[in-house]
Chain A
Amino acid sequence: DTAVSQTPKYLVTQMGNDKSIKCEQNLGHDTMYWYKQDSKKFLKIMFSYNNKELIINETVPNRFSPKSPDKAHLNLHINSLELGDSAVYFCASSQSMLAGGLGLLNEQFFGPGTRLTVL
């Protein structure tokens, strides 16, 4: 199936640990993103990568480090996990549009999410 996939789906860990979440897309898109959804369902962009280069880095603690080994993958590594990191993390991808300099669609396709619980 063509899709955005994430592993693991659930992640339960202790405070202070280091963990990684993996994301892969086989849609041929050149841009990938990480979003955080908090307990109130609010979604906020964390990072964006275009052709393996970091484009957006919102105000996120530097304990969070994205890594893009190739255009199809964007992994999220989190060091020294804290209670407040508990959330659902969504990966997404899109194909950037360059039609005459006008920013068209940027329709993003989302993965199923990874529910991180820090104890």
Chain B
Amino acid sequence: GNSVTQMEGPVTLSEEAFLTINCTYTATGYPSLFWYVQYPGEGLQLLLKATKADDKGSNKGFEATYRKETTSFHLEKGSVQVSDSAVYFCALSDRYSGGGADGLTFGKGTHLIIQP
């Protein structure tokens, strides 16, 4: 079956620090990979995505590269802000096999706290 493993939180950083949140996956097919962000009291928003090996997703200063050889999709940002404080979820979707609409398989989420 599919699974996503991401680093446990909370992760606490100072403003302007470099951020890495690790994510590795196991999938039976050739998945698409996503990072979603959940701000306090809100729903999930797609942060970035990648659909094939070596693709780099980027948005709002965040980046993640689809690494098939290491089955990883680590999230990085060069300089974090207080407003980046949220829970970050790594997720995968297996390839559509002509019959179904795949639910996303999520990691357990990483709570990021940025201090001024």
Query: A residues touching B (Cβ–Cβ < 8 Å)?
Result: 30-31, 33, 35, 40-45, 48-50, 55-56, 58, 90, 92, 94, 96-98, 101-113
Task: Tell me the complex Cα distance, A6–B21, Å.
Answer: 30
Pair B103/A103 contact, Cβ less than 8 Å: no
A49 CB to closest chain B CB, in angstroms? Answer: 8
Identify which of B45, B93, B103 contacts A110 (C-beta below 8 A): B45
Partner of B101, one of A31, A41, A90: A31
Interface of B, helix, strand, loop or mixed by DSSP: loop
In whole angstroms, what is the CA distance A101 to B97 when docked? 7
Residues of B within 8 A of A102 (CB): 95-96
Whether B103 lies near A35 (C-beta < 8 A) is yes
Give 1 or 0 for each of B56-69: 1 = CB within 8 Å of chain A CB: 00000000000000
Contact A104/B101 with A42-B108, A110-B43 known, Cβ cut-off 8 Å = no
